[in-house]
Amino acid sequence: MRKTVSLLAAVSLLLTACGDGAASGGDPARKTIRIAYQAFPSGDLIVKNQGLLEDALPDYQITWTKFDSGASINTAFVAGSIDIAAIGSSPVARGLSAPLNIPYQVAFVLDVAGDNEALVARNGAGITDVAGLRGKKVGTPFASTAHYSLLAALDRAGIKESEVTIVDLEPQDILAAWTRGDLDAAYSWLPSLDELRKTGTVLVTSRELAADGKPTLDLGVVATDFIQAHPAAVDAWRKAQSQALNLIHDNPAAAAKSVGAELNLSPEEAQQQLSQGVFLKPADLAGAEWLGNSVAKGKLAENLVSAAQFLKDQQKIDAVPDLATVQAAIYTEGLPDALG
């Protein structure tokens, strides 16, 4: 059984959870899964659109709640109001660090950011490169992968954060401010990124920053208490996500149809947006470069520690977790077989 919840309802759920410890997903007898999703092109939207998890777990009531950023998802995890989420690697690095120390684990890599996240300067703002952002106003969702990449781009260009006015805006709010002429530039992601490109110039993409040592990813994370109470359900979710990745590789048109339906895009538009991301094959996830397996954790943990160190250097978090702590937060039980 599936239920989709609006962001307004999500706030209500979060507030309810804050006052009710029973809302936790750690009860084995509670056959519910509360999933936080984001509206960016990914296999996660295919899982939602095609009801793959509902088909695999007919005895569970599954609720899909839309969130606009990783920061709000972290808040929901702290409140105990969600069990599984699609969230960027930068907010995950924050979540695993002090003061949040959120008890969740990375169980899937949805995609590696490529040209689907970028820094765009508004036409007419007189900006031709990242160095031109000095004294300008830039919008981005705080505590997101885009925010992390913006800071990395500024650092690479030798610009101090204090030399730029950075405004915390969700993607849809960025579009509204952009239309009013309130922003000189913005770092955001698809699908809103395509709208920015129509009247702006791309200064740098997350693909370029990844090549320069600052990669960002979209991850699937699961609350630790939910993993402990419902390991078979987590396996079913991982297999559904793997099925979606396979569809993106093997049948791009079918994948685009599902993603387009979720984002109100034509299949052609959705396929073009999917082509801008980097989607791994399920077999790759259990390799040394990413999650690893039940015998040895992969390098994803090192990536998250590196991201946390950068955030600490930027004074965005209090302390950097050690590698062993982050490795313990990478869920590899049953890999690679659990990927289907």
Binning the chain into helix, strand and coil, the percentages to the nearest 5 are: 45, 20, 35
Q: Are residues 240 and 97 in the same domain?
A: yes
Tell me what the pLDDT averaged over the chain comes to. Answer: 92
Q: What is the arithmetic mean of pLDDT over 188-212?
A: 95
State the Rg of the chain over Cα.
19
Structural domain includes residue 15: no
Q: Are residues 241 and 253 in the same domain?
A: yes
DSSP state of 290: T
Structural domain includes residue 81: yes
> Above 90 in pLDDT, residue 246?
yes
CATH code, domain with 184: 3.40.190.10
> Above 60 in pLDDT, residue 2?
no
pLDDT of residue 181: 96
**Domain containing 199: what range?**
117-212
Structural domain includes residue 297: yes
Q: Are residues 157 and 288 in the same domain?
A: no
* Structural domains counted in the chain: 2
Structural domain includes residue 92: yes
pLDDT of residue 12: 47
Q: Are residues 139 and 234 in the same domain?
A: no
Q: Which of 178, 212, 246 is the last residue of a domain?
A: 212
pLDDT of residue 170: 94
Q: Are residues 105 and 131 in the same domain?
A: no
Structural domain includes residue 127: yes
Who contacts 222 (Cβ-Cβ below 8 Å, separation ≥6)? 83, 84, 104, 105, 107, 234, 237, 331
Structural domain includes residue 89: yes
Q: Are residues 255 and 202 in the same domain?
A: no
Among 139, 114, 119, CA closest to 129: 119
pLDDT of residue 27: 83
Structural domain includes residue 40: yes
Neighbours of 197 (CB within 10 A): 13
Q: What is the arithmetic mean of pLDDT over 12-20?
A: 44
Q: Are residues 196 and 48 in the same domain?
A: no
> Above 50 in pLDDT, residue 302?
yes
- The predicted-structure confidence for 265-284, as pLDDT tens digits, reads as follows 999 999 999 999 999 999 99
- The predicted-structure confidence for 65-110, as pLDDT tens digits, reads as follows 999 999 999 999 999 999 999 999 999 999 999 999 999 999 999 9
